[in-house]
Structure 1
Amino acid sequence: MAEMKMPRVMIAAPGSGSGKTMITCGLLELLRRAGRPISFKCGPDYIDPMFHRFVLNIPSRNLDTFFTAPDRTRSLMGKACMKEGADLAVIEGVMGYYDGLGGVSVRGSSYELSVQTGTPVILVVNGRGMSLSIAALIRGFMDMYPDQMIRGVILNRVSKGVCERLTPIIEEKLGIAVIGYVPETEVICFPSRHLGLMMPEEIVSLREQIQKFASLLEETLDIRKLKTIAEAAEPLNWKEDPMHVQRLEDAGSGKLRIGVAMDAAFCFYYEDNLDFLRELGAEIVYFSPLTDAALPENLSGLYMGGGYPELHGEQLSQNASMKQSIREAVEGGMPCLAECGAFMYLHEAMEDADGRFWPMVGLVPGKAVKKGRLVRFGYAVLTSETDTILGPKGLQMPVHEFHYWDTTCEEGCFEAHKPLTERRWHCMYQKKQLLAGFPHFYFQADEEMALHYAEACRNYADGYL
């Protein structure tokens, strides 16, 4: 049994739009000024962890109770805190505190994560247009489940006077701490698309906004109260999975060089995926389909993630030498896992955000087309109908999808099932050692995926196709 004392809090809310992302960023900046915070995002969202890493310069990971069992979730959290030498962890919740799978279950919710990790919760309540009703709203959340972890509240979009009048009522009647308030402010304004695609000057502007907002929070929040709640968290403990240790020992030897697409067009990766590949002996070699002329030399395999290729259609299309380099490598048998945006890039043609079609790599038959709406959103479970680079026929893998584009390619080697529904569909295109589709994979959900992928890459590097 591993155990560590790690002060931690979750910033959650009654629903989306309550201000938890903005307040989380301001708090992280405040904590960064005096310590070494680490952040986590509840759920499969790539955006906020990237934002924390690139704009705030704070290490950030995902924690997802749909993907991982409680011990593995705590293990991932604890090991990340140790690796980064963090002195306080902040988890940003997802949607409403109790909102989970299918909108009717707490599985995968902020609540489930807070309970499984023993993390005290600070509830951010949008108090605009309310006064005493705020206390009733909080009471409802506290009464929903007896093991809820709500220990404090931040009143958003209220005045100092409202906060001062409500604080003794909330603290006496509900038994939780009022950390403070956040007034209506124009100090900070996040663009609707604030992840990974920012130019350097945009990052500088956002950093300045967050710094100003953090200074505002320094005046309106009692950070000592928040830290007291964080420090009261029980020690984080977990049992090390003996199969995980055994898998690493059995993974084989020999250096792997995995080419990972990383630029403004392709930037969606779970950091834990890359770390697990490194544990399996892989050297991660980044390359840019936007600007590099060709793939790096001596690669054992390719891993290409999602992002925003639709915003860079012309530049991606005009980089003919990179397209040829990727096409020749994959046609020559190099293992390639391509998710979402990279799947679009590998088509014969892709429609960009302005409705123009551009020739792409040509490995996937058909076109990637804009639909103007969410095509699929949320968790699914895939079952392979044939052997692939991720494992044998019959292997089941939990995944997540979020995309506004679709494909005219009708081939699919996996059956997908949306949990709690009867909805099923086919997905994932396979040819030779290419496996490409809209789903995003999380290797920690089933390590067999990464092990089979690494084995395929090692066999390719050794000349065994």
Structure 2
Amino acid sequence: MVSAPAARAVLVSATASGQGKTSVTAALARKLSRTGQRVRVFKTGPDFLDPMLLARASGAPVQSLDLWMVGEEDCRRQLADAASDADVILIEGVMGLYDGEPSSADLARHFGLPVLAVIDASAMAQTAGAIVLGLRDYGPVHLAGVIANRVASQRHAEMVVGALREVPLLGSLGRQPSALPERHLGLVQPDEVEYLDSLLDRLADELALDEATWNALPLASFRQSAQPPQEATLAGKTIAVARDAAFAFIYPANLDCLRTLGAELVFFSPLADEPVPAEADAVFLPGGYPELHGEALASALAWRASLTSALQARLPVLAECGGMMALTDSITAVDGTRWDMAGLLPGRAVMQQRLAALGMQGWQTRHGVLRGHAFHYSRLEDGPAPSARAVRHPSGTEGEAIYRSGSLTASYFHAYFPSCPQAVADIFLGRSPA
């Protein structure tokens, strides 16, 4: 019997958001990759920005793992693929270890992953032990060790070590003079951070890792499951994908899914006022930060005219969240500044200080549930009547409106395409997936 591929794999989690999971995961990825180890990083749950930064830190694409959105079999396949060509697999959790349904702890238990707990030790010492033992025993999970973040000194780190009892301290990271910058939807995009590689190198340098304890962690193996063949229903089709600083929220798996369906992808930049490529048979406008680029988009007349022509020619267009906002009549910022948009979907996108929606959702189609999530700070005022609605997971309550007008499909809902590829194919073929 051929043995399953194996790699050293850990899930990096914490008590809550804001404890430094991303900084520690990035530091660990950069530190290990600089020693010549092949590092693959995954992100648990729905996220676009953390994976961009972690990809920069590790030098390899970062995919999503989630038992509900991605599914057990696809998670297993991705882990097996990673173990076949990597020495180390790092999986950054979402929120706190036990938050969500399913939680990061559920993922760890399901695949037998040891957990590496990141503890913000900046305002504690011995109490770190109580927190760590609680994280271990509540589930329970296999807690492989702790990384103490924001420690003040070597003496401070020693106090934390003394409180952990039998749980090893795998490493520590001191307080940083400059943190990874944040914005209302999370981390900024890596290309927007000056000297990002220097910042990542500094984090790696300052991560004090107990290499003997790290190297003693057992290897994990993941048996590959057969992937069912995917019908190439988009063969011969060219899909134009908007991709720039305003439209950057794209799961790498979504692009892979479109290619597996047989589509050829071409990219264009609305911010650069590039029109939809002439060879396009369909258009994908992903989410992003159009509200931060309102002035540029308002003056991008060529791309707006090309979208108008595309819809008049009945080219299928899928616009998600920020992509949808750019097609409305206008975007209004929190400070009241208003920019005219393409005017191809009735309504006005209005930014607000508080979250308008957050969490997993699914769209029931004739092919099954197309799964994904919603996360936005704007609301659509005076929009059209929805043709369907997504459903929140796990509550089953009414979720995001889905608008269909002619060949346009638009929603705040971000779809994870591999969860229901044929529904996605229907959209890009101009058919209703309902």
Is the counterpart of residue 433 in structure 1 residue 407 in structure 2?
yes
CA contact (8 A) 1:380 1:400 kept: yes
Which amino acid in structure 1 is aligned with residue 176 of structure 2? T
1:424 is matched with: 398
> How far does residue 191 in structure 1 lie from its aligned partner after superposition?
1.2
Q: How does 1:371-390 map to 2 (within 5 A)?
A: 371-383=352-364
Is the counterpart of residue 12 in structure 1 residue 13 in structure 2?
yes
Equivalent in 354, 374, 386 of residue 412 of structure 1: 386
1:135 is matched with: 129
1:388 is matched with: none
SS of residue paired to 2:40: strand
Q: Say if 1:296 and 1:227 are closer, same or farther in 2 by CA, change over 3 A.
A: farther
Distance in 2 (CA, whole Å) between partners of 1:353 and 1:253 is 40
2:60 is matched with: 58
Gaps in structure 1 of 5+ consecutive residues: 102-106, 384-390, 460-465
Gaps in structure 2 of 5+ consecutive residues: none
Distance in 2 (CA, whole Å) between partners of 1:339 and 1:263 is 15
Is the counterpart of residue 268 in structure 1 residue 249 in structure 2?
yes
CA contact (8 A) 2:386 2:401 kept: yes
Q: Say if 1:134 and 1:379 are closer, same or farther in 2 by CA, change over 3 A.
A: same
Distance in 1 (CA, whole Å) between partners of 2:291 and 2:314 is 27
Distance in 2 (CA, whole Å) between partners of 1:335 and 1:81 is 38
Aligned length: 424
CA contact (8 A) 1:265 1:290 kept: yes
Give the TM-score normalised by structure 1: 0.85
CA contact (8 A) 1:347 1:363 kept: yes
SS of residue paired to 1:435: strand
CA contact (8 A) 1:6 1:236 kept: no
> How far does residue 283 in structure 1 lie from its aligned partner after superposition?
1.7
SS of residue paired to 2:258: helix
Distance in 2 (CA, whole Å) between partners of 1:165 and 1:426 is 48
1:240 is matched with: 226
> How far does residue 81 in structure 1 lie from its aligned partner after superposition?
5.4
SS of residue paired to 1:95: coil
Q: How does 1:17-416 map to 2 (within 5 A)?
A: 17-34=18-35, 35-54=37-56, 57-80=59-82, 82=84, 85-101=85-101, 107=102, 109-146=103-140, 148-158=141-151, 159-167=153-161, 170=164, 173-174=165-166, 176-186=167-177, 188-193=178-183, 194-196=187-189, 198-199=191-192, 202-203=193-194, 205-217=195-207, 220-229=208-217, 232-241=218-227, 244-245=228-229, 248=230, 250-252=231-233, 254-352=235-333, 354-383=335-364, 392=366, 395-408=368-381, 409-416=383-390
> How far does residue 353 in structure 1 lie from its aligned partner after superposition?
5.2
Which amino acid in structure 1 is aligned with residue 90 of structure 2? V
Q: Say if 1:251 and 1:422 are closer, same or farther in 2 by CA, change over 3 A.
A: closer
When structure 1 is superposed on structure 2, of 189-198 and 118-127 the one drifting more is: 189-198
CA contact (8 A) 2:83 2:222 kept: no
Distance in 2 (CA, whole Å) between partners of 1:283 and 1:251 is 11
Superposition misfits of 4+ residues, deviation over 4 angstroms: none
Which amino acid in structure 1 is aligned with residue 16 of structure 2? G
Distance in 1 (CA, whole Å) between partners of 2:51 and 2:362 is 24
> How far does residue 315 in structure 1 lie from its aligned partner after superposition?
0.7
CA contact (8 A) 1:31 1:37 kept: yes
SS of residue paired to 2:219: coil
For residues 64-111 of structure 1, the C-alpha deviation after alignment (integer angstroms, 9 at most, x for no partner) is: 1221332221112333555xx43211111111111113xxxxx1x111
Q: How does 1:444-459 map to 2 (within 5 A)?
A: 444-453=418-427, 456=429
Which amino acid in structure 1 is aligned with residue 424 of structure 2? A
Distance in 1 (CA, whole Å) between partners of 2:3 and 2:100 is 28
For residues 121-179 of structure 1, the C-alpha deviation after alignment (integer angstroms, 9 at most, x for no partner) is: 11111223333222222111111124x13111112233322333543663xx43x3211
Distance in 1 (CA, whole Å) between partners of 2:235 and 2:395 is 44
Which amino acid in structure 2 is aligned with residue 10 of structure 1? L
SS of residue paired to 1:94: coil
Q: Say if 1:81 and 1:352 are closer, same or farther in 2 by CA, change over 3 A.
A: farther
Which amino acid in structure 2 is aligned with residue 213 of structure 1? L
Q: Say if 1:271 and 1:327 are closer, same or farther in 2 by CA, change over 3 A.
A: same
Distance in 2 (CA, whole Å) between partners of 1:364 and 1:120 is 48
Which amino acid in structure 2 is aligned with residue 150 of structure 1? L
When structure 1 is superposed on structure 2, of 425-434 and 305-314 the one drifting more is: 425-434
CA contact (8 A) 2:41 2:55 kept: no
SS of residue paired to 1:276: helix
SS of residue paired to 1:281: coil
SS of residue paired to 1:9: strand
SS of residue paired to 1:41: strand
Q: Say if 1:356 and 1:86 are closer, same or farther in 2 by CA, change over 3 A.
A: same
SS of residue paired to 2:276: coil
Give the TM-score normalised by structure 2: 0.91
Q: Say if 1:446 and 1:178 are closer, same or farther in 2 by CA, change over 3 A.
A: same
SS of residue paired to 1:6: strand
Distance in 2 (CA, whole Å) between partners of 1:339 and 1:156 is 36
Which has the larger helix fraction? 1
SS of residue paired to 1:289: coil
Distance in 2 (CA, whole Å) between partners of 1:169 and 1:308 is 44
1:104 is matched with: none
Which amino acid in structure 1 is aligned with residue 110 of structure 2? Q
